[in-house]
Structure 1
Amino acid sequence: MLDCIERWLVAINRWILIVLLLAMACIIFSNVVLRYTTGDSIFWAEEVSRHMMIWVTFLGAGLVLRTGGHVAIDNLHTAVGTRAARMLRGLVAVGIALFCVFMAVASSDYVWRTRFQTTAATDIPISFIYAAMPVGFVLVLVHLAFIARRYVMQGQYVAEEEMDGDAASSI
């Protein structure tokens, strides 16, 4: 049952990112073409694409965590014994979880405080854009819950064909 939920969560998360990135690319491409062919541009294109990039960043963080793509320093837990390494990885997982919980709560407060402000070009409530933070941190927490046991016990992330976490974090 949990495997099914995890697969669905990852698939939905990926498709949302794909749609957002595709829409962002189309908006920016159209704006550039219009600017150079007609001299006019879409007045809301830059603002909307920036907001989409914010959502992509926060929604994608959990997927990157699953594969170990975030920057990490793993020299210490590879240099110590198995038991100490597990304890260190456990502390890292708990630290990430506590950070995500704190940031989800703090950013939810921030979303609430900005609920009456709107953006300049599109008049979208700023709280909608800032809602990417609590949603993203909760998603990171959920993804962490799915991978934590394997990470703590074996020091491994989820292996995926599309993404090599070691290569991504070493760029």
Structure 2
Amino acid sequence: MKKVLKYLEENLEEMLMVLMLGAMAVIMGVQVFSRYVLGVSLSWSEEITRYLFIWSAFMSVSLCTRKCISIKIDQFIKFFPERGEAAFKIVNLTFSFIYFAYLIPYSAAYLKTTIASGQVSPACGIPMYYIQAAPLVCFSLTGIRLIQRWIINLEIILKKKHPDLGEGSLAGSITESVTDNIGNKEDI
């Protein structure tokens, strides 16, 4: 169970994005083949591809947060020692968390409105709340990833090693896998 949780924590976003991007490529390939070779156009392919693209775009926010990839100018903080860098990163992570915490209720309200409307997609008849759930799910996942980064940087400031959270505990697995993924202090 611990290995499964650790694997999911390390690879969840990548797995989902690879599946979605692969599905988009296959669906569009089938659409091109069907249109130009068979002479029949698939009415559902563009719609499904669009919805997969929406989900992959929102999922990439969480992936970039986990891997600490964002648009930033970090030359200033490189002048500081490790603890100083971590302090600046905590401030940045705190503002990012506040931003996503602000967005979550609005995305939930948007999803609630979509559920109440009963709207379905035109070509496939898919309930639109499956698509409109992307912001809520991905902003929540991003919030979790920000908290993980915040804890790691706080431990650097306090010069503590990561606590032993117990064999098989979810918190221990998450902390261990996040620190294993970091590698060097520049990625923290």
Both structures adopt the same fold (TM-score exceeding 0.5): yes
Q: Which residue of structure 2 lines up, in the alignment, with residue 137 of structure 1?
A: 139
2:106 is aligned with 1:106: yes
Q: Is the 8 A contact 1:10 1:63 kept in 2?
A: no
Q: Is the 8 A contact 2:87 2:153 kept in 1?
A: no
RMSD over equivalenced CA pairs, Å = 2.8
Of stretches 38-47 and 6-15 in structure 1, the one that deviates more from structure 2 is 6-15
Give the number of equivalent residue pairs. Answer: 160
Q: Is the 8 A contact 1:111 1:131 kept in 2?
A: yes
| 1:132-159 alpha-carbon deviations (Å, 9 max, x no partner) | 00100111111222222334648xx944
| 1:105-160 alpha-carbon deviations (Å, 9 max, x no partner) | 11011011112222211121222101000100111111222222334648xx9447
3-state SS of 1:51 partner: helix
3-state SS of 2:33 partner: helix
Q: Is the 8 A contact 1:104 1:137 kept in 2?
A: yes
3-state SS of 1:124 partner: coil
Equivalent residues in 2 for 1:76-115, closer than 5 Å: 76-79=76-79, 85-115=85-115
TM-score by length of 2: 0.72
| 1:87-114 alpha-carbon deviations (Å, 9 max, x no partner) | 3221111111111111121101101111
| 1:19-56 alpha-carbon deviations (Å, 9 max, x no partner) | 22221111011001111112322101111101001111
Task: Find the aligned partners of 1:112 and 1:51 in 2 and give their Cα distance.
Answer: 18
- Percent of paired sites with the same residue: 23
Q: Which residue of structure 1 lines up, in the alignment, with residue 10 of structure 2?
A: 10
Of stretches 72-81 and 14-23 in structure 1, the one that deviates more from structure 2 is 72-81
| 1:74-94 alpha-carbon deviations (Å, 9 max, x no partner) | 133224566654432211111
Mark the CA change 1:92 to 1:143 in structure 2 (over 3 Å): closer, same or farther: same
Gaps of 5+ in 2: 158-178
Task: Find the aligned partners of 2:91 and 2:3 in 1 and give their Cα distance.
Answer: 25
Mark the CA change 1:68 to 1:46 in structure 2 (over 3 Å): closer, same or farther: same
TM-score by length of 1: 0.78
Mark the CA change 1:159 to 1:86 in structure 2 (over 3 Å): closer, same or farther: closer
Mark the CA change 1:119 to 1:159 in structure 2 (over 3 Å): closer, same or farther: same
Task: Find the aligned partners of 1:95 and 1:108 in 2 and give their Cα distance.
Answer: 21
Gaps of 5+ in 1: 166-171
Q: Which residue of structure 1 lines up, in the alignment, with residue 36 of structure 2?
A: 36
How far 1:58 moved relative to its partner? 1.6
Mark the CA change 1:49 to 1:109 in structure 2 (over 3 Å): closer, same or farther: same
